[in-house]
Chain A
Amino acid sequence: MTDNLARRVLEEPATEQAIEDLHGVLDQLWLDAAFVPQLDQMAFTTAVIESASNVVQHGVPSPGATLHLGVELTVSAERLKAVISEIGAAPHDPVPDLDDLPEPSLPDEDALLEDYDESGRGLSMIRALVTTVTVERQGDTNVWVLSRDSGQD
């Protein structure tokens, strides 16, 4: 078993306020886990906010349900882990594509600018920022699990 050295949770309706609150929860986590290298803190924070924003922006509640965002953040000596739950959500349709996208073949600047796709960019950023990312259905909840190996120089 891996010992958790720091842990923070959040659960509230999936609104913009939840994203602002989650920033505060992450700040508190890093106060408790100041030993985690800055780069790991930065990368993990970005991936967690991207995932939670995805829930708030694109999550679809099941009929009659209110969509809630649940976040559990844990830090162990070698790993940062986030479990991000879309509670009361309809199943993903389509399921987010978490396979590695082919790298764009160094498009020129005009193509970069014209082809910028915000939501696709968010998913590929998450993939690049963490070591593993999975999404699965558990009961009435879509669960994202992000983990990043940390502190290994």
Chain B
Amino acid sequence: MEFSTQDKGRYTEVTPSGRLNMVAAPKLREVIDGVVSAGGRRIVVNLAETTFMDSSGLGALIGCLKLARQSGGDLRIAAVQPQVNMVLELTSMHRVLTPHATAEQAFPND
């Protein structure tokens, strides 16, 4: 899995590409930790290129959400693909990580 990080002004966009499984999950935590340490408060994880997520990947996203909130910010997800959406709904985690259609829509102008 590859990660790209982009400063979009109002938020930082992190795009994981590939499979968010037990191998990639610790890497996602590292990437988000780096963003938060660098002062990023609003983080959008763009899942357009994430074709697969398991409970390890979901655990990493949940951990990253907690980290962002503890730092006074927030983490939102966007462009969720069908398998990832299935896992979110199966675990009821779509209620805390509500998918947004696009990264731009995750943090509306405010």
Interface segment among B6-14, B16-24, B36-44, B99-107: the answer is B16-24
User: What residues of chain B have their CB less than 8 Å away from a CB belonging to chain A?
Assistant: 19, 21-23, 52, 54-56, 58-59, 62, 65-66, 82-83, 86-87, 90-93, 95-96
| Chain A residues closer than 8 Å to B91, beta-carbon distance | 121, 125
Cα A50 to Cα B66 with chains together (Å):
23
Asked if A121 meets B59 with Cβ closer than 8 Å, knowing A23-B21, A42-B86, A56-B22, the reply is yes
| Chain B residues closer than 8 Å to A53, beta-carbon distance | 21-22, 54-56
- Chain A nearest Cβ from B78, distance in angstroms: 19
List residues 122-146 of chain A with CB under 8 A from any CB of chain B.
122, 125, 128-129
- Chain B nearest Cβ from A50, distance in angstroms: 6
Whether the Cβ atoms of B52 and A43 lie closer than 8 Å is: no
Whether the Cβ atoms of A19 and B22 lie closer than 8 Å is: yes
List residues 13-44 of chain A with CB under 8 A from any CB of chain B.
16, 19-20, 23, 38, 42-43
Tell me which of B22, B66, B87, B95 contacts A16 (CB under 8 A): B22
The 5 closest A-B pairs by CB, nearest first: A118-B59, A122-B55, A121-B55, A16-B23, A53-B22
Interface segment among A1-9, A83-91, A108-116: the answer is A108-116
Whether the Cβ atoms of A23 and B52 lie closer than 8 Å is: yes
Tell me which of B83, B95, B96 contacts A46 (CB under 8 A): B83
User: What residues of chain A have their CB less than 8 Å away from a CB belonging to chain B?
Assistant: 16, 19-20, 23, 38, 42-43, 45-46, 49-50, 53, 56-57, 104, 109, 112-113, 116, 118-119, 121-122, 125, 128-129
- Chain B nearest Cβ from A21, distance in angstroms: 11
- Chain A nearest Cβ from B43, distance in angstroms: 16
Asked if A46 meets B87 with Cβ closer than 8 Å, knowing A57-B22, A112-B93, A118-B59, the reply is yes
A–B complex contacts, Cβ < 8 Å, 6 sampled: A16-B23, A23-B21, A49-B21, A50-B55, A112-B95, A121-B58
Whether the Cβ atoms of B59 and A109 lie closer than 8 Å is: no
Question: Which residue of the partner chain B has the closest CB to A122?
Answer: B55
Whether the Cβ atoms of B23 and A19 lie closer than 8 Å is: yes
| Chain A residues closer than 8 Å to B58, beta-carbon distance | 118, 121
Question: Which residue of the partner chain A has the closest CB to B83?
Answer: A42
Cα A88 to Cα B95 with chains together (Å):
41
